[in-house]
Amino acid sequence: MSDTRQSLNRREFFSYLSVAWIAFSAACAGLASLAFRFSYPNVNFEPEMEFLAGTPDLYEEGVDERYKNGYGVWMVKLEGKLFALSNICTHLGCIPNWLPAELKFKCPCHGSGYYMSGINFEGPAPRPLERYAITLNAEGKIKVDKTKVYRWEKGQWDHPNSYLTV
Ligand code: FES
């Protein structure tokens, strides 16, 4: 009787020991993963600052939105010029929408409106949208470089790299 009782106790002991060991191992693994995560900074994956945007013949007169979501850029062909327009509202940085029926960009946050050219005309936006550098590479492809910004209010929209003649 006492042998049976003793063997049960031993079995229970090893069972508890196994559970405790598994719990301890899981806790150690959790701590190790936290330490690993802590040792790496939060990386903010920004859109690419440079991209190729096809060839000029791909664009029709008006606003092309194919690079809006991936790169934050509207490609606009207007009166013989093709330019890369930033989609960041100059008021507080919201993303306006292009309204083709009204031929304007309209910011959903506080109502700023911009003409197709990027010039602001309503709402609290203090200045026009910005344009990015746009050039043709050796293969005739359009290269947009968001590290170079051209502002209308500084007279920079006349700069030869702020548009392509099309
Ligand atoms: S952020 Fe666009 S109007 Fe305020």
> What is the 85 CA–ligand 1 centroid distance (Å)?
16
Q: Is the pLDDT of residue 166 over 90?
A: yes
- Tell me the CATH number for domain 50-165: 2.102.10.10
- Bridge-based pairing of strands 120-122 and 73-78 is unpaired
pTM equals 0.74
With tokens 């029709």, the residue in question is: 60
Residues 29-84 pLDDT 10s: 767 766 655 565 555 566 689 999 999 999 999 999 999 999 999 999 999 999 99
Residues 17-26 pLDDT 10s: 777 787 777 7
State whether the beta carbon of 129 lies less than 6 angstroms from ligand 1.
no
Three-state SS for 60-74 is CCEEECCCHHHHCEE
Domain ranges of the chain: 1-44, 50-165
- DSSP letter, residue 161: G
Non-local (6+) Cβ contacts of 11 within 8 A are none
156 or 40, greater pLDDT: 156
- Strands in 120-122's sheet, in edge-to-edge order, are 97-99, 104-106, 113-115, 120-122
